[in-house]
Amino acid sequence: MLEAHNGLSSRIVEQSNFDGIWVSSLTESASKGLPDNEITSGEERLRTIREIRRASSKPIIVDWDTGGQVEHFTFWLKELERAGVSAVVIEDKSFPKRNSLLKGDKLHILEDVDKFSEKIKRGKEAVEDMMVIARLESLIAKKSMYEALIRAEAFLKAGADGIVIHSKSEVSAREVMEFAEKYKKEFSQPLVAIPTTYDLPTEHPFDIVIYANHLLRASLKAMKDFVETFDKNKLAKVEDIFKIIGYEDRSTKQ
Query: How far is 127 from 121, CA to CA, in rounded Å?
Result: 11
How many helices (H) does the chain have, and how many strands (E)? Answer: 9, 8
Query: How far is 74 from 62, CA to CA, in rounded Å?
Result: 14
| Main-chain phi, psi angles of 110, to 5 degrees | -75, 145
What pLDDT, on the 0 to 100 scale, is given for residue 123? 98
Query: How far is 82 from 79, CA to CA, in rounded Å?
Result: 5
Q: How confident is the model at residue 105 (pLDDT cuts 50, 70, 90)?
A: low
Give domain limits for the chain.
Answer: 2-214
228: pLDDT strictly greater than 60: yes
87-91, strands of its sheet edge to edge: 2-3, 21-23, 60-63, 87-91, 131-136, 162-165, 191-193, 208-209
96: pLDDT strictly greater than 80: no
Tell me the average pLDDT of the chain: 92
Q: Is the preceding omega at residue 96 within 30 degrees of 0, hence cis?
A: yes
Q: What's the gap between Cα 218 and its chain centre?
A: 17
> Crossing angle for the helix pair 7-14 and 238-245, nearest 10 degrees?
70
* 36 catalytically annotated: yes
| Main-chain phi, psi angles of 135, to 5 degrees | -105, 120
Listed in sequence order, the residues at least 6 apart from 196 whose beta carbon sits closer than 8 Å to its beta carbon are 101, 168, 211, 212, 213
What pLDDT, on the 0 to 100 scale, is given for residue 13? 98
State the CATH class of domain 2-214.
alpha beta
Q: What is the pLDDT of residues 152-173, one digit of tens each?
A: 999 999 999 999 999 988 878 9
DSSP state of 232: G
Q: How confident is the model at residue 94 (pLDDT cuts 50, 70, 90)?
A: confident
Q: What is the pLDDT of residues 17-74, one digit of tens each?
A: 999 999 999 999 999 999 988 899 999 999 999 999 999 999 999 999 999 999 999 9
Among 19, 36, 199, 231, the one annotated catalytic: 36
Exposure of 176 by Cβ count < 10 A (0-12 exposed, 13-18 middle, 19+ buried)?
Answer: buried
What pLDDT, on the 0 to 100 scale, is given for residue 250? 43
What pLDDT, on the 0 to 100 scale, is given for residue 253? 40
